[in-house]
Amino acid sequence: MSKIKILIPAIGVAGVIAGSVAAYMYFKGGPSGDISGAAGSAKVVPDEAFVATYISTDPKVWAKLEQFGTPEAQKLVAKGLEDFNQNVLTDSNISYEKDLKPWVGGVMIAMLPPTSAKPAQLKLPSANPNLPAVTTQEPNVLMVVGIKDKINALNFANKLKGQKGVITKEIDYKGLKITETLGKGQPTYTAVLNNHLVFAPEKQTVEQAIDTFKGQPSFASKEGTNSILSKDVVENTVAQIYVPDYAGMVQQLINLNPQVQQQLPPQTLAQLKQLKSMVMGVGIDDAGVRMKAIANLDPELVKFQYQNSAGKVVSQLPADTIAMVSGQGISSWWSAFVEQSKDYPEFKQVLEQARSQVKLANIDLDKEIFGWMDGEFSAAAIPSNQGILAQVGFGGAFIFHTSDRKTAETTFTKLDTLAKTQQVNIAQRNIAGKNITEWQIPGQGSLITHGWLDQDTVFVALGGPIADAITTSNGKSLNDSENFKTVTGSLQKPNGGYFYLDMDKTASLINRFATQNQSLPLEASAIINSIHGVGMTTTSPDKSTTRMEMLLALKKKSK
């Protein structure tokens, strides 16, 4: 907290905005600074920046939060805002309402490579005890704050100069003034560049921003940046992250830590070149908090062939499913992995070992395990308090669609034979007209069950009761679940499958395992209880683009 207090007089509020704007807007609304301001802020960020984040302060967008939250969650947010004001703003005699709101626009935070003049260094123990400690560097951070009212900004600056214990000094750099501010810690540096305030812990970083302002290449002019700066990734955007050169960003981060650089094989860096650039946005809409990302890929380097998923597998899961992952074409994924392993000796070695181990059971890993998994698939957690699952409260299920039933049946026959050699009892059972096979453990009941739901669909259940839940239709599937519709109904379609998590059912399991002395903290419970669930999906309209969308579905305020 002391570091935050030092930043308040130095930065003139950027830290406050970035850290507390959400809570403030939740109750009182706030300044305007919509996402369109990102392009202007990027023009004063040096082109050496490898990633930048823009935070909007548009009150119309943040006001969307007001429709959500249980009473407990609202109290938690209110208390957090009150504590923040008491611990940070009160000590500095700063009022958000009077001093900051009138002039602050949007905020851009950019990361740049460390300067050679004064790198921030940290010594970490070496992975090899015989070698000296490894010196790592930290990236330089530049913050750009939009100024929507220069008079109020000037009044605030004058107020800061009058703060006790704060010493300011003006430094001339190429005809512009850099203000050095010294409080209780290290000095910080700011400068006003037309309608923007730039701030950094390093003077050279502010000097770089001034050079950029005067005509040097900027982040906005960087190759690949203009296209992602102009994209509206998500509606009602509160923040966007821009990575114009993904492989370059990873390389910059690796350069900061020589230990990682030594351990990372060159093939990994080559693989990262598949992803050229990325932009990710976070927004608030009537369903909750939504995140979308757009990744631009190099089609010549991408091995995996994306396939849309029809979604039929979702209708084959029970309505009370706790969590689920679905997709399409595991066999294609496996083929892409095998192809890429040729360039990675470590992966190739693991692959060959796996093939050899499975071969001992007379099973071909490529053909008899992954080869027939060419259709839709799902992996799910399903609630049950019966039999072997009574203690944990849930079991697992896997469903696979295949066009090669003959090979799949051969595989399961071989697995049943292998199980018999391990003193597992193999039994047959009929559920709702479907013949299934159970692996029974003496004294414990059915451990694994497998069978066919239809001509092209095979399932594997962990726990006998789960087989009953899948094979016995009660007229309602996960597709019919109101919670599933709420969480995934607004996600993009067509898509490659879903990730789905029912938060109410998950919370019930967490509370089940929590003891009286180790119960879930009230704050965590309040947050969890205000969420319907989490939904995520991906799609690929062409070989050079992948889109990801995630929704944190929130519960509306009770009226």
Angstrom distances, CA of residue 189 to CA of 93, 99, 159, 186, 503 = 21, 20, 17, 10, 45
- Residues 6 or more apart from 170 whose CB is under 8 A from it? 177, 178, 179, 180
Q: Give residue 416's pLDDT.
A: 94
Q: How far is CA 405 from CA 316, 335, 364, 374, in A?
A: 18, 19, 16, 11
Tell me the pLDDT of the chain averaged across its residues: 83
Q: Considering only CA atoms, which of 442, 439, 443, 537 is closest in space to residue 488?
A: 537
Distances (CA, A) of 109 to 18, 50, 106: 9, 11, 10
Per-residue tokens: 14: 């950027």
Over the stretch 464-480, which tens digit does the pLDDT of each residue have?
Answer: 889 999 998 777 899 99
Cβ atoms of 43 and 52 closer than 8 Å? no
Q: What are the tokens at 427?
A: 């039994």
- At residue 517, does pLDDT exceed 90? no
**What SS3 class is residue 364?**
coil
pLDDT at 13: 35
Vertex 309: Cα angle to 307 and 311 (nearest 5): 180
Give the pLDDT confidence score for residue 9 in this predicted structure. Answer: 36
Q: How much is the pLDDT for 117?
A: 46
The rounded distance, in Å, linking the Cα atoms of 453 and 460 is 11
Is residue 452 very low, low, confident or very high in pLDDT (cuts 50, 70, 90)?
Answer: very high
Give the up-direction half-sphere exposure of residue 495: CA atoms within 13 A in the CB hemisphere.
Answer: 21
Q: What is the mean pLDDT of residues 249-257?
A: 83
Amino acid at 323: A
C-alpha 559/C-alpha 554 separation (Å) is 15
The rounded distance, in Å, linking the Cα atoms of 509 and 169 is 58
DSSP state of 477: B
Ramachandran bin of 445, using left for φ above 0, alpha for ψ from -120 to 50, beta for the remaining angles: left
pLDDT mean over 101-109: 85
Confidence at residue 10, expressed as pLDDT on a 0 to 100 scale: 35
What pLDDT digit, counting tens, does each position of 121-161 carry? 445 454 455 544 556 678 899 999 998 888 888 888 777 77
Model confidence at 166: pLDDT above 50: yes
C-beta of residue 373 within 8 angstroms of C-beta of residue 405: no
Q: For residue 184, what pLDDT band results from cuts at 50, 70 and 90?
A: confident
pLDDT higher than threshold 90 for residue 18 = no
Three-class SS of 50-104: CEEEEECCCHHHHHHHHHECCHHHHHHHHHHHHHHHHHHHCCCCCCHHHHHCCCE
Cβ neighbour number for residue 44 with a 10 Å cutoff: 27
pLDDT of 6 strictly over 60: no
Is the separation of the CB atoms in 256 and 139 below 8 Å? yes
Confidence of residue 16 (pLDDT cuts 50, 70, 90): very low
What is the tens place of the pLDDT at every residue in 306-348?
Answer: 888 989 999 999 999 999 999 999 999 999 889 888 877 888 8
pTM of the model: 0.85
Structure tokens at 361: 């059971």
